[in-house]
Amino acid sequence: MGIQFRNVSYAYKGLKVNYDAIKNIDLTIQPKGEFIAIVGQTGSGKSTLVQHMNALLLPSSGELTVFGQNLPPKKKEKINFLRQKVGLVFQFPEYQLFEETILKDIMFGPKNFKSTEIEATEKAKRAASIVGIDESLYEQSPFRISGGQMRRVAVAGILAMEPEILVLDEPTRGLDPKGRRDLMKIFQGIHEDEDKTIILISHDMDLVSEYAKRVIVLDEGKIVFDGTKEELFEHPNFFDFHLDLPTPLKILKHLEKNLGIPYIPKYDFKSLLSYLKEVGHE
Ligand SMILES: Nc1ncnc2c1ncn2[C@@H]1O[C@H](COP(=O)(O)OP(=O)(O)O)[C@@H](O)[C@H]1O
Ligand SMILES: [Mg+2]
């Protein structure tokens, strides 16, 4: 099942020229076990692409199937089922908080998808605990907590719907380094504990290199690369993708050039450090 795009293009209506924001997209996403990063310059179509995954946008042409449902659907109600299956956390999701209390805000999604009050409360509490929102905060206003906590409440609101695939549009943008790391650990935990497919849009190549298994590169609405992160960062034409290298790989390249330490790719700081220790002891 999962998500399949076949030759999908999308043009925003009302543009003076006929300009496709995404073009001829062919893409298959497994319903479980994937950790995919979508990268590319601003305006390359990342947000447009992911908004198709839960039918917020419908293809202008091509075929799109999400959990067995062809889009656009014959009946509008079919769309609700997809919104629950594929949870999409927007950019700056905290702008969409609106309830009086944190718990009510997290319960909004499940209630909307026909959970009873009791079920919604249970789901909300479970989601709050996954993102580390303490019980003592349940009755507080979502507008009185820190930016990082607001972001987590917003993520919990999506998790409470128990989606099978979690799509995150620049979830760490605007957070401080600690907030970024904490949030990424939460996503990694969800991925590992439940084998959930996670799709992450990010400009932060260090995060992409540490967490993603597969990377999709968009350029002017087209997929120009789709493969493992190992393949991407060792790609002979990597710089044609207009991406920055992750810091650990930059350091390793410097060390090879200036100190002759053999370049063996390491995708996060922890593995970089243990490699350097190993080399230092030889
Ligand atoms: N609501 C909209 N109306 C018209 N054009 C849009 C809209 N949203 C995005 N675009 C255009 O579509 C293209 C892709 O945008 P987007 O998917 O937001 O890219 P990214 O997320 O990679 O920055 C850009 O040229 C952008 O200006
Ligand atoms: Mg975007």
Q: pLDDT tens digits for 97-150?
A: 889 999 999 999 999 888 999 999 999 999 999 999 999 999 999 998 888 899
Task: Print the domain residue range for 240.
Answer: 3-245
Q: Are 148 and 14 found together in one domain?
A: yes
Q: Is the distance from the beta carbon of residue 202 to the nearest atom of ligand 1 less than 6 Å?
A: no
Q: Is the distance from the beta carbon of residue 163 to the nearest atom of ligand 1 less than 6 Å?
A: no
Q: Are 73 and 134 found together in one domain?
A: yes
Q: Are 116 and 241 found together in one domain?
A: yes
pLDDT of residue 17: 67
Read off the pLDDT band of 70 (50, 70, 90).
very high
> What SS3 string covers 160-198?
CCCCCEEEEECCCCCCCHHHHHHHHHHHHHHHHHHCEEE
Q: Are 282 and 177 found together in one domain?
A: no
Q: pLDDT tens digits for 221-242?
A: 999 999 999 999 999 999 999 9
Amino acid at 225: F
Which ligand lies nearest the alpha carbon of 45?
1
pLDDT of residue 15: 57
Q: Are 172 and 277 found together in one domain?
A: no
Contacts of 188 (CB under 8 A, 6+ apart): 211
Q: Give nearest CA residue, ligand 1 atom 25.
A: 43
Which ligand lies nearest the alpha carbon of 9?
1
Tell me the CA–centroid distance for residue 21 and ligand 1, in Å.
Answer: 6
Q: Are 240 and 274 found together in one domain?
A: no
Beta bridge partners of 222: 219
Q: Give nearest CA residue, ligand 1 atom 12.
A: 21
Q: How many whole angstroms separate alpha carbon 159 and alpha carbon 21?
A: 28
**Phi/psi class of residue 24: alpha, beta or left (left: φ > 0; alpha: ψ in -120 to 50)?**
left
Asked whether residue 13 carries a pLDDT value surpassing 60, the answer given is yes
Count CB-CB contacts under 10 A for residue 220. 14
Instruction: Give the ligand 1 atom nearest the CA of 51.
Output: 17
Instruction: Give the ligand 1 atom nearest the CA of 22.
Output: 14
Pocket test for ligand 1, best of 13, 47, 170 (most atoms within 8 A of CB): 47
Tell me the CA–centroid distance for residue 14 and ligand 1, in Å.
Answer: 13
Q: In what order do the strands lie in the sheet with 20-29?
A: 20-29, 3-11, 61-66, 69-71
Q: Looking at residue 204, which CATH number applies to its domain? A: 3.40.50.300
Total domain count for the chain?
2
pTM across the whole model: 0.95
Q: Is the distance from the beta carbon of residue 40 to the nearest atom of ligand 1 less than 6 Å?
A: yes
Q: Are 127 and 255 found together in one domain?
A: no
Q: Is the distance from the beta carbon of residue 45 to the nearest atom of ligand 1 less than 6 Å?
A: yes
Q: What is the bridge-based pairing of β-strands 222-228 and 61-66?
A: unpaired
Q: Is the distance from the beta carbon of residue 52 to the nearest atom of ligand 1 less than 6 Å?
A: no
Q: Are 102 and 171 found together in one domain?
A: yes
Q: Are 237 and 252 found together in one domain?
A: no
Instruction: Give the ligand 1 atom nearest the CA of 221.
Output: 14
